[in-house]
Structure 1
Amino acid sequence: MQETTSQQRLAGVLILFGLIAQIIGFTGLLHTAHAVSYLLWLAVALLWRDIPKRSRIQAGVLMGLGLLMLLVARVVYDAEVDWPAMLQGNAFVAAMLVGVSFITLVGKQQGRKKAPGKKLTGYGGILRTWLGVHFLGTILNMSTIIMVGDRLARSGPLSMPQFLALNRGLSSAATWSPFFASMGIVIALAPEMQYSYVAMFGLPLALLSGLLTTLELGRRFDLREVYGFSLAPSSLLMPGIMALLVMVFHFWLTPRLSIVGIITFLIPMVALLYNLRDGPRYTFRRIRQHTTTRLPAMRGEISLFLAAGLLTLGLSTLVASIAGNDWTLFASFGAAQGMISFLAIVLSALAGLHPIIGISVLASMVSLQGSEHTLFAFAGLCSWAIGTSVGPLSGINLSLQGRYGVSGYRMMKNNLFYAGVMSLLSLASIAGLSYLVN
């Protein structure tokens, strides 16, 4: 493993301080929104040269466009711009991603046992790989790709069916998992969203993704020599406990705090308590290592979310200054508008834009009322799930490309049929949800 530089270590400390500032802000004792955004942006500035070139170009373009639109809105249309707060967009989501990363500290570094589970081939292997990545990924997010992928790679280089099972297993969790960044984004943009309705349609849609993946890959590939990964029940114990804790805090202990906020402080707290069993010195060593190595490695994710937030602020400010605050893209947000929005975001993902950009831009141009929040959120989640599976520059595909060498465009080509079928199912689900909530 390449050693981190002093600049990377400093950036890691700043990211940690940003997380701490966010958690302090939840208490209501201090207003820390400015501090969180400044710390995270400063960390990105220090890590800028280390960000992969593609991601750096994309983030740079988003930042430039966002700043340009703010300047045009201010200079040309005399719009009011809160310059000190211009960097706050999506900072809370970036802080959540940082908090989630601490889940890797729940476990021993030394003397770890092999990941539980047994290798299977054929349809069963693909299905179990999808199930393992999907349900473990609802908590562990992107780290699941590497954990399960490395386990599969022990039997030899990963094959395309394995890549596709990893890709689809994780991306489909975006339709319903309360732990995904996608859910954090849509909750922030549609705060009156009713999660029960989203899960009612999102979970079956995700399970259909697993069924489609298993049948399609079995038809297209010879799976007799393709190993899958089956998780033992003990491997699901920790994610299950975390999910239960989140629900306890959400419904009883901190009902006023969003799920994103609960995850942001809960996972680091559990990691801290878990490690304190072995003493404060051991705990400090593990947190220091995580801060100086893992947190700087999140530079691509953090920069993308922050850049998209700046773009959204710039676009919403410019649109409001040109058309007035009363202008909206749609007079109302129903089934037709949800379908159009879904298709537009998925198509933009094919062009290389992360779905967060499409969802955020759309949110800046609509005015939601009542049940429209739920429909907007679900359309955004569906587009995120399919857009990240097929988009060549999505975080999932970039992770697979960077670690295992598979081409992002090859992944896109192999996911086109899947994306088409899932899009039809998503459109039907959007129509069904619209009928139910209206």
Structure 2
Amino acid sequence: MTTSAQSRIALLCTRNALSGLLIFATLCMALLDTFDLANLTEPATLTAWAFVALEFGRLTSKQRLPIYLLLGAGVVFATWSWFAGVPLHPLDLLGEHLKLAMLLAAVNFIRLSTQLQSNTGNPGLGSFLTTLGGMHLLSSVANFSSMLLVGEQLKRKQTLSPLSSMILARGFSLAVLWSPFLSILPLTLEQVPGTQLYNILPFTLGLSLFGLAYTLLDARFRHERELDAYQGYPMTSGTLLLPLTLIVAILIVSALQPDLPTVGVVALMALLTPLLLLTLKQGPGEAAQRFGSHIVERLADTRGEISLFLSAGFLAAAVKACLSAGLFSLPFTYTSPGVAVFVLWTITILAHMGIHQFALVAIFAGMLADVTTAPTQMAIAYIVATSASMSGSLFSGVNFILQARFNCSGRGILRTNLPYTLVMLLAATVLIYMMHYLGIH
């Protein structure tokens, strides 16, 4: 190895370590602030944006483009409100999504205790179902790592069959509907006034089960020949124990202590559970060593999502400043099923045109925060739009992975998932109107 190559590796390791320490410091300070143990919002905001600045050059051009657009639009709205006499506090604008950055950093630690093991099983329907169910549960805590882990086991000749791509895309996107360890549910709880976890979950879980059932019928009627001989990757109970334990623990804590901030509870459990499992399996010394190594070697991998969320938060805060100053007004003064359905379809359509779904949710939620009179209906709209966009839009992270890592064609992805996207949107539309007629707002 040449001296220049060794220098580049040393520089990369140093940057990873500094970035990891910055975002871990953000995580710790934001946790203390979330539980009202210390007022650390401003220093946590500074370390979070220092992390973004340090890692920005390592983002791909596709990752940087939406961030440029979000920051540019945020500057325009912030400048407009400033000229109108609105007192602006830069750190308040920059820290709008600080707690979501905390959550993303914490969830990254779950990979420390994620192990993928397969049961032996006969090819066919049973193999498809158990692989889809395992992928769905693993995705609920492992985020995009689940797609890489499971996809590597399913690929054949460097690509995925239609059934395998369906398992990855829909298994992941349907977990987005209900898992507090994925980004959109905490974002909704944080940004939509009046939302409660237990008010949302019955509906999103129902939609998730509906989506899984539709996927089974889709596989049976559109891919019958492949389904009959399908060899998947059924996962062991040991692999699925961690996601099940974490989800049950969150539900129990939320039921017993509903006043605790959900995003803080999720982040704390995502951080401590892997450390506890490693300590029980390998001893405190080895656990501490692996935990520390993860901070300085792998935590910087959160750069893309954290940069995007902080930038979307900056834009949302700037838009809210303009609204509070009366610089422009909304065409309605309260939310109705019609508004929720309009937002649902609009976010999905714009996401399919290339605008990031999380940024769209942040913008809409920020604009509508003060007029939201039906928070549960609006929450369903935001969450389902994000889920449908993840599986259906060629610009989503899910489909970027399918195309770049597993060589799936864009045309094949659209052909597989477009009918599913329309069915899920129609089901959510019907659900929102049913909620209205039942008096559930």
For 1:383, give the aligned amino acid. Answer: A
What's the CA shift for 1:197?
Answer: 3.7
For 1:284, give the aligned amino acid. Answer: A
Q: 2:85 aligns with which of 78, 81, 97?
A: 78
Distance in 1, matches of 2:394 and 2:220, equals 23
Distance in 2, matches of 1:79 and 1:407, equals 49
Q: 2:399 aligns with which of 391, 397, 404?
A: 397
Moved more, 149-158 or 171-180: 149-158
For 1:267, give the aligned amino acid. Answer: A
For 1:265, give the aligned amino acid. Answer: L
Task: Give the structure 2 partner of residue 311 of structure 1.
Answer: 315
Q: Is the 8 A contact 2:340 2:381 kept in 1?
A: yes
What's the CA shift for 1:235?
Answer: 2.6
Q: Is the 8 A contact 1:329 1:366 kept in 2?
A: no
Q: Is the 8 A contact 2:191 2:369 kept in 1?
A: no
Q: Is the 8 A contact 2:178 2:205 kept in 1?
A: yes
2:242 aligned with 1:238: yes
- After TM superposition, the score normalised by the length of structure 1 is 0.90
What's the CA shift for 1:37?
Answer: 2.0
What's the CA shift for 1:323?
Answer: 3.6
For 2:222, give the aligned amino acid. Answer: R
Tell me: CA distance 1:322–1:391, structure 2 relative to 1, closer, same or farther (3 Å): same
Task: Give the structure 2 partner of residue 165 of structure 1.
Answer: 167
- Cα deviation code 1:104-136 (max 9, x no counterpart): 2226xxxx7x61323554443333332112222
Distance in 1, matches of 2:68 and 2:413, equals 25
Task: Give the structure 1 partner of residue 25 of structure 2.
Answer: 17
Tell me: CA distance 1:47–1:402, structure 2 relative to 1, closer, same or farther (3 Å): farther
Q: Is the 8 A contact 1:355 1:387 kept in 2?
A: yes
- Cα deviation code 1:51-77 (max 9, x no counterpart): 1110111111111111221012212x2
Distance in 2, matches of 1:189 and 1:125, equals 40
Q: Is the 8 A contact 2:138 2:146 kept in 1?
A: yes
Task: Give the structure 2 partner of residue 249 of structure 1.
Answer: 253
Q: Is the 8 A contact 2:159 2:407 kept in 1?
A: no
CA RMSD of aligned residues (A): 2.4
Q: How does 1:111-126 map to 2 (within 5 A)?
A: 115-118=117-120, 121-126=123-128
Q: 2:105 aligns with which of 94, 98, 103?
A: 98
For 2:293, give the aligned amino acid. Answer: Q
Moved more, 31-40 or 280-289: 280-289
Q: How does 1:183-198 map to 2 (within 5 A)?
A: 183-198=185-200
What's the CA shift for 1:428?
Answer: 0.7
Structure 1 runs (4+) deviating above 4 angstroms are 367-371, 407-410
Task: Give the structure 2 partner of residue 62 of structure 1.
Answer: 70
For 1:57, give the aligned amino acid. Answer: L
SS in 1 for 2:367: coil
Distance in 1, matches of 2:323 and 2:406, equals 42
Task: Give the structure 2 partner of residue 263 of structure 1.
Answer: 266
Q: How does 1:8-407 map to 2 (within 5 A)?
A: 8-75=16-83, 77-106=84-113, 115-118=117-120, 121-153=123-155, 157-221=159-223, 222-223=225-226, 224-252=228-256, 254-277=257-280, 278-323=282-327, 327-367=329-369, 372-407=374-409
Distance in 2, matches of 1:332 and 1:355, equals 23
What's the CA shift for 1:154?
Answer: 7.4
Tell me: CA distance 1:44–1:180, structure 2 relative to 1, closer, same or farther (3 Å): same
Distance in 2, matches of 1:298 and 1:169, equals 22
Unaligned runs of 5+ in 2: 1-7
Q: Is the 8 A contact 1:163 1:400 kept in 2?
A: yes
What's the CA shift for 1:84?
Answer: 2.5
Distance in 2, matches of 1:417 and 1:91, equals 36
- Cα deviation code 1:84-114 (max 9, x no counterpart): 222112121121011111112226xxxx7x6
For 1:227, give the aligned amino acid. Answer: Q
What's the CA shift for 1:15?
Answer: 1.0
Tell me: CA distance 1:368–1:64, structure 2 relative to 1, closer, same or farther (3 Å): closer
Task: Give the structure 1 partner of residue 413 of structure 2.
Answer: 411
Distance in 1, matches of 2:357 and 2:76, equals 22
Tell me: CA distance 1:27–1:199, structure 2 relative to 1, closer, same or farther (3 Å): closer
Tell me: CA distance 1:135–1:279, structure 2 relative to 1, closer, same or farther (3 Å): closer
Q: 2:15 aligns with which of 7, 15, 35?
A: 7
What's the CA shift for 1:415?
Answer: 1.6
Distance in 2, matches of 1:140 and 1:341, equals 28
Distance in 1, matches of 2:71 and 2:80, equals 14
Q: Is the 8 A contact 1:353 1:391 kept in 2?
A: no
Distance in 1, matches of 2:372 and 2:356, equals 27
Q: Is the 8 A contact 2:176 2:387 kept in 1?
A: yes
- After TM superposition, the score normalised by the length of structure 2 is 0.89
